[in-house]
Structure 1
């Protein structure tokens, strides 16, 4: 009886994990030389320098904003990537929810690759598994939410992706780039993904908007509620007027 009691205690005491939610953020580093953008200061426009890049290491870049300027996310670790196109990969954990976020900083010269990887993942392709302590976390095509941050490269080039005709799970996507609804719509439809936030005009794809949209997603809000969160955040930082911010963001097709 004592042995049975010990076995029951072990089974009860063993950690039990449910299925964590996962978010994968694809960041194409700002690159004055290799992207068709209005040039920014050289110090933040080097697409091979994630530490100082406008969309990554600068004050409102994804790395700095999620690591330093919000208490909702905790940086767990930096993960070496076998993909030479990814210059830095970071794993974050939500402070109160069982949600993990993987952020990839792509070499700015490889913007086409970053967009193609984002689109393929939105279609359930390129699954990535990362071990975190005793858990296996699914990113890439296994993610629940995917986001692209950076220049709208589809203004400059076409992508040629073979999409899966059937998907077992519809993935939510956020696309923070200029005119992203106009340029990404055909691809997102073919990917069979659900656009919860994208844009109708020129914009600065900085991390406060991404954070606001993710906040709404974490709370299981509707697309229109997430849209409003993004507009409020963008107006707060850009001082562009709430009406203009609301016109900038939209949800769904």
Structure 2
């Protein structure tokens, strides 16, 4: 192994587990780093609590790269708590906040519930998911807030409550990724992933792994002498598609 290389250990996610229960990627990074190798954890899944979970394992932004963070240009963002009580999302002169419990509050307008705010796990009143209701009390859309305090994504729902369309934002609120869902044989699946203006160009993918491979190629271009290492079978397809790496390993 060459210490001039950059080693990327792949993982689906960094889950909210007990800090004593470390994933193979976390353990691997620690071992590689102790031997003097430049090592990063590269995760695929969208997780608005990712950086909260990273804190549990004492990981920082220099050690972990997430695909959605990379797409949204939010890999290095300081946390600024977004408390519902102090948020400008709802005009307090028009809307009433009804605290239900430590997990969520309802937003009322003229005596009618128009939204539900679920708080970020393990926080006190920080916005996590805001669900919006129509006149028939059906949820029509949901806004997801990142643990660090910004709105990260919006889901638009079908009448049956299943996701139809997703929008992902950068810090300026511009859409940088769209995901379309379609009903196939009675089951709704994501069928198109579209980067709206990645490096000035629009890109479309059929699967999340195809997009992950594309992002890994872009990352490897920025870290010369890249080595990709994977022990998650769900990510093998993405590893097979990666081109801009010196070496790649699957276990």
TM (norm. structure 2) is 0.29
Larger Cα Rg: Structure 1 or Structure 2? 2
